[in-house]
Amino acid sequence: MKLRAYIAICFLACFALSAAAFAQEGHPLVGTWHGSWGVDDKNRNDVTLVITFTGKGQIISGVVNPGSNSAPIQKATLDPANWAVHFEADAKDSGGKPVHYVVDGKIEDIGSVHRSIAGTWTAGTARNNFKVTRD
């Protein structure tokens, strides 16, 4: 039991440290974002976005839910006039069926290292809201 508590504390400490360590001030979309999407407050789907940026060509890329069921981010854009974000992804739903995501949001609190993106997350024909916050 003591060992489990010790491991849990170490894990939490590492998590907290890594969150602080990844604060970044470069391209506003770069980083790992956690949150959820769903049609209402009770029906939510956890989501993680890992977004990268390549200077040459100003290419925004990344993955939705890194891991065995990850989906590459496609057609990602950022409009700095209003910090509007758009991307799409081809993923699978909980039943294993293909589903196409179309995501449109806006970066909130652009100056914060823990800024957020909120907006609409369309899965197939279902229109949902979403919010993710940067680690």
Partner 1 sequence: MKRSVSLAAFLLLLVATVGYPQAPEATGQRGQRGERGARGQRGQQQPSQPAAPTPRFKDGTVNLSAAAGEKGFWNVGTTSVYGRGLPGNLTAEQIPFEPWAKALFQYRQATSTKDDPHARCVPDGGIHFWQLTNGVEIIQQPELNRIIMVAGHNHIWKVVHMEPGRVHPSPDVITYGYLGDAIGHWEGDTLVIDTVGFNEKFWFHRGGLPHTSEMHLIERLTRVDHDTLKYEATLDDPGAYTKPWSGGSLIRWQTTNYDGSPGGEIDEYYCMDNERDSQHFASK
H or E segment to which residue 30 belongs? none
Q: Which is nearer to partner 1, 69 or 77 (CB)?
A: 77
Smallest distance from partner 1 to CB 112, Å: 7
The helix or strand, by DSSP H or E, that contains position 3, with its residue range, turns out to be helix 2-21
Least distance between partner 1 and beta carbon 96 (Å):
36
Q: Which two tokens stand for residue 135?
A: 């680690």
What is d(CA 58, CA 65) in angstroms, rounded to the nearest whole number? 23
Q: C-beta of 70: minimal distance to partner 1 in Å?
A: 22
- CB-wise, 53 or 74, nearer to partner 1? 53
Q: What does the binding site for partner 1 look like in residue numbers (CB under 8 A)?
A: 21, 23-28, 30, 53-56, 58, 78, 80-81, 83, 110-112
Return the residue matching tokens 């919010």.
Answer: 131
Taking the least distance from each CB to partner 1, the nearer of 47 and 78 is 78
Strands 116-123 and 44-54 turn out to be unpaired
